[in-house]
Amino acid sequence: MIVWEIFKMAVGALRVNKLRTSLTLLGIIIGVSSVITIISALEGLSQSIRAELNQLGPTTFIVTRFGLIRGHDAFMEALKRKPMKYEYLSDIEKGCKDCEKVAARSYIMGEVKFGNRKLKRVLIGGGTANIFDIVDLQLGQGRLHTLEEDQSRRRVAFVGATIAEELFPGLDPIGQTMKINNIRYEIIGMAKKKGATMGEDQDKFVFVPYSSFVRDFTDPHMDLDIFVKASSVERLPEAMDEVRVILRSVRHVPFEKEDDFGILTADAIMAAINDVTKYIRLGLIGISSIALIVGGIIIMNIMMVSVTERTREIGIRKSVGARQRNILLQFLFESLVLSLTGGIIGITIGVVLGDVLINLIKMQMTPSLFAIAIGLIISTGVGLFFGIYPAMKAARMQPVKALSFE
Amino acid sequence: MPLIETREIWKTYEMGATVVHALRGVSLSINKGDYVAIMGPSGSGKSTLMNLIGCLDTPSSGEYYFKDKQVSHMTDDELAVIRNREIGFVFQTFNLMPRATALHNVELPLIYNGTPRLNREQKARKALNIVDLGDRMLHRPNELSGGQRQRVAIARALVNEPSLILADEPTGNLDSKTGLEIMQLFSRLHKEGNTIIIVTHEREVATYADRVLHILDGMVDRDEVITVAEKSANGTNL
């Protein structure tokens, strides 16, 4: 195999010039690892947001007062909207034939106490009992509240892992009574630890029956989010349409006006996040690519020097019958071996650094195959792009001139 | 049928405004089994002629036939195939790969025509044995003397069993004793049936050949036959 022999020549030449080879490698490693760090961190971010959103099933959508707000003006306009009301739940249940479950959820910030221990800035959530059939709250121990407990406004609470750890160190929190905004609640269940999203602790919450929440912490006009589960994935669009028609009617939205509420699915939220962060992501990748281009230029520069230095070698090879493509391949292999070796090292460093970055904002990720594939494609591309010109220069040398080169 | 035949070949170089005619209509023919010296002072065009005969370059005009094939208009890659299969070069400066062993240097032409590894090594060993370097196969050029290096180059020229061995001042970088050994080797290779062309500016070297083409100002000035008597007188009748 001529190609294999030529490959061996290329590797041989790289081994001879160890210092030069390692400096070139360093250039490409820095380039590839910076790009891969950014790509895999972004990928990790996207993974965690996706995992978060997956708590909503594929058949679920959320109806909110604000919807997805883009920009300050839209926000100011949305502030004038009427809150979502609890009565809408029964309107939807009655009117929407493709809706299987309709639940309500609302939040305020507050504080919790147990003995002399106190936690501030805790998310206090209230939800109807069927919310648990729609949103996976990931029960760890104990139980969730029941329909009866909601109807009879019982003071029972389901708590996040942070609450259990901070308020009840060394104690089993279930069965204990704590104070939520100074009102005594009995703990009936505890959630699995979720970690953080974007530096936000996802375990610092308590969750109580909706009717208790309204009575103890807020008022009946409190804005709420309505969670709707459609009867099937196929019927999801119809369910969303029906809910939209019902809400426009009960909220008296005039015919020519736009909806004064928003309907969201996990996909829509993801798409919105991707859309908003698009330029940031492109910018980050763009900036990190500069290092990669510099790495490529280093390869090109080294290959140019190498071709000139080895003019006589090229002449000898041509005089004994090397064709243009043989010489081309030899030098192209050199730049490819350089860029791929650097690429593989760079990908490894990049994936590790990306993971560290993601951990810094307290999220988890699985190594991104996407980032690895991109890294391999990029480094092959860099090797080919920046290697082709020097290799062509070598291949097209005239044997007579090359042989007489001093 | 001659092995090589040139008809009115010209080679012109343009160096800025000035035009240099390195060859001005050279016509010659060399047969298989010939031993020819191309002789001339420096600047006569003999190196240009050798480059053309060796298919390292193409003429500006005129025709060049190698084994009846018109070479003058071939592409780079077609010429590379001819150089690989038909021509073995021996250069004044040896032109070996400095980091490769003698064996590997000799294998190089075989690599480019796709000879399988075992076969390649076998042929290279055989060629090195012909030039009496059987015991130096794994030495690198810097571990060999000048004469030994030139013999590695000759082995490399022989390894493909080419139709023509083309030597450009092969003794130019060697002392006279080593030069003599190399010329004796060429004479032996000629007796074994090889066609050899030697380019030189030294009369003593040229008289090893049977025929001397004198080149002057880019033209064949004289086509001289070296008689046995003259060879005997010079001690080149080997």
Going residue by residue through chain B, which has 238 residues, state the pLDDT in tens, using 9 for 90 and above. Answer: 799 999 999 999 988 888 989 999 999 999 999 999 999 998 899 989 999 999 999 999 999 999 999 998 899 999 999 999 999 999 999 999 999 999 999 999 999 999 999 999 999 999 999 999 999 999 999 999 999 999 999 999 999 999 999 999 999 999 999 999 999 999 999 999 999 999 999 998 999 999 999 999 999 999 999 888 888 887 777 6
Distance (Å) from the C-alpha of residue B159 to the closest C-alpha of chain A? 11
Q: d(Cα B185, Cα B208) in Å, to the nearest integer? A: 11
Partner B contacted by A286 (CB < 8 A): no
Q: Among B201, B156, B205, which residue's Cα sits nearest to residue B35?
A: B205
- CB contact under 8 Å between B114 and A326, yes or no, is no
* Chain B hits for A316, Cβ within 8 Å: 95-97, 108
Q: Which residue of B has its CA nearest to A316?
A: B95
Distance (Å) from the C-alpha of residue B237 to the closest C-alpha of chain A?
31
CB contact under 8 A, B57 and A16: no
CA of B129, closest CA in chain A: separation in Å? 20
Determine the Cα–Cα distance for residues A241 and A108; give it in Å rounded to an integer.
30
Look at residue A363 in the predicted model and tell me its pLDDT: 66
**Which ranges of A85-234 would DSSP assign to H, the alpha helix?**
87-95, 131-134, 147-151, 161-167, 210-217
In the Cβ-directed half-sphere of B16, how many Cα atoms lie within 13 Å? 0
Chain pair A-B, CB pairs under 8 angstroms? 61
Model confidence pLDDT, tens digit, residues B139-176? 999 999 999 999 999 999 999 999 999 999 999 999 99
Judge: A313–B97 Cβ closer than 8 Å, yes or no.
yes
| Shortest Cα–Cα distance, B78 to chain A (Å) | 8
ipTM over the 0.90 cut-off: yes
Interface of B with A in 4-63 (CB under 8 A): 51, 54, 56-57
Q: Is B114 on the interface with A (CB under 8 A)?
A: yes
Distance CA A30, CA A353 (A): 12
Q: What is the DSSP letter of A404?
A: T
For residues A228 and A243, is the Cβ–Cβ distance under 8 A?
A: yes
Query: DSSP labels for B63-120?
Result: EEEETTEE-TT--HHHHHHHHHHHEEEE-TT----TTS-HHHHHHHHHHHTT--HHHH
Question: Given an 8 Å threshold on Cβ–Cβ distance, is B109 in contact with A324?
Answer: no
Residues facing residue A201 across a β-bridge: A196
C-beta atoms surrounding A321 within 10 Å: 25
The two three-digit tokens of residue B5, written as one number: 């035949």
B219 close contact with A: CB closer than 8 A: no
User: Which residue carries 């055989």 as its tokens?
Assistant: B126
Contacts of A2 in chain B (CB under 8 A): 111-112, 114
Give the residues of chain A that fall short of pLDDT 70. Answer: 197-199, 362-365
Interface test with B, best of A320, A324, A403 (most B CBs within 10 A): A320
B111 closest CB neighbour out of A2, A312, A313:
A2
CA–CA gap between residue A146 and residue A210 (Å, rounded): 11
pTM here is 0.74
Q: Which chain B residues contact residue A3 at CB under 8 A? A: none
A319 and B95 within 8 Å at the Cβ level: the answer is yes
Q: Say if A3 is an interface residue toward chain B (CB within 8 Å).
A: no
Q: Select from B13, B56, B74, B115 the residue whose CB has the most chain A CBs within 10 Å, as the one to mutate to test that interface.
A: B56
pLDDT in tens, A36-89: 888 888 888 887 777 777 777 788 889 988 877 777 787 787 788 888 888 898
Q: Report yes or no: A351 and A372 within 8 Å, Cβ to Cβ.
A: yes
CB contact under 8 A, A2 and B95: no
**Measured between beta carbons, which residues in chain A are less than 8 angstroms from residue B59?**
none
B161-to-A71, A93, A228, A249 alpha-carbon distances in Å: 81, 94, 86, 97
Q: Is B99 on the interface with A (CB under 8 A)?
A: yes
Domain residue limits, chain A: 2-52+272-403, 82-260
Report yes or no: B74 at the A interface, CB cutoff 8 Å.
no
Is residue B23 within 8 Å of residue B10, measured between CB atoms?
yes
**Upper half-sphere CA count for residue B141 (Cβ side, 13 Å):** 17
Q: Which residues in chain A are closer than 8 Å to B97, comparing Cβ atoms? A: 313, 316
A322 has a chain B CB within 8 A of its CB? yes
Multiple choice CATH, B4-234, 3.40.50.2300, 1.10.10.10, 3.40.50.300, 3.40.1550.10: 3.40.50.300
Partners of B80 on chain A (C-beta within 8 Å) are 318, 321-324
**Got the DSSP string for A228-297?**
EEES-TTTHHHHHHHHHHHHHHHTT--TTSPPSSEEEEHHHHHHHHHHHHHHHHHHHHHHHHHHHHHHHH
- Is B89 close to A322, i.e. CB distance below 8 A? no
Q: Does the beta carbon of B111 lie under 8 angstroms from any beta carbon of chain A?
A: yes
Are the C-beta atoms of residues B51 and B57 closer than 8 Å to each other? yes
For B:137-166, CB contacts with A below 8 A are 156
Q: Is B97–A5 a contact, with Cβ atoms under 8 angstroms apart?
A: no
Question: Looking at residue A138, what is its pLDDT?
Answer: 81
Burial readout B50-81 (b: 16 or more C-beta within 10 A, e: otherwise): bbbbbbbbbbbebebbbeeeebbebeeeebbb
